[in-house]
Amino acid sequence: MAKRILTVVVLVPLAIILIALAVANRAPTAFTFDPFNPGNPALTISLPLFALLFLALIIGMFIGSMATWFRQGRYRRIARQRNAEVEKLKKQTPPTEQKADTKGALVHRAA
């Protein structure tokens, strides 16, 4: 329930702002890939300004996500190594007998 309320409180105002931004910036804007010859029609694209802004936002999110993914690679590697070590130790230890006590919790007793 709280998640739904949070979604409504955050996403609805964000959607309203994005729709207002899109409506206010409908005029086509020229975007050129050649900074030295801006009049080159082969390297110029004309899109509405809101489309360029959304595209820049999406590209920025993608680049940021990739940078985070690569930076956290060592932590994922350490986690994989530790998981492999835990599995190896689980295979080496003898199985234990589990009995339920009166409160329903499991009590581990060595065989």
Position 97 scores a pLDDT of 66
| 94 has pLDDT over 60 | yes
Structural contact between residues 50 and 25, judged by C-beta atoms closer than 8 angstroms? yes
Which pLDDT score is estimated for 70? 95
Q: How far is CA 21 from CA 7, 27, 54, in A?
A: 21, 12, 10
Q: Identify the helix (H) or strand (E) that includes residue 80.
A: helix 73-92
Question: pLDDT per residue over 102-111, tens digit each?
Answer: 555 556 665 5
Residue 105 · residue 89 · CB < 8 Å: no
Asked if residue 45 lies in contact with residue 34, where contact means CB atoms within 8 angstroms, the answer is: no
d(CA 46, CA 27): 10
Query: Would you call 90 helix, strand, or coil by DSSP?
Result: helix
Q: Across 9-13, 14-18, 40-44, 83-87, which has the greatest mean pLDDT?
A: 83-87
Average pLDDT over residues 42-46: 88
At 104 the pLDDT is 56
Segment 9-36 shows an average pLDDT of 88
The string of pLDDT tens digits covering residues 65-93 is 999 999 999 999 999 999 999 999 999 98
Looking at the DSSP bridge assignments, the partners of residue 97 are: 109
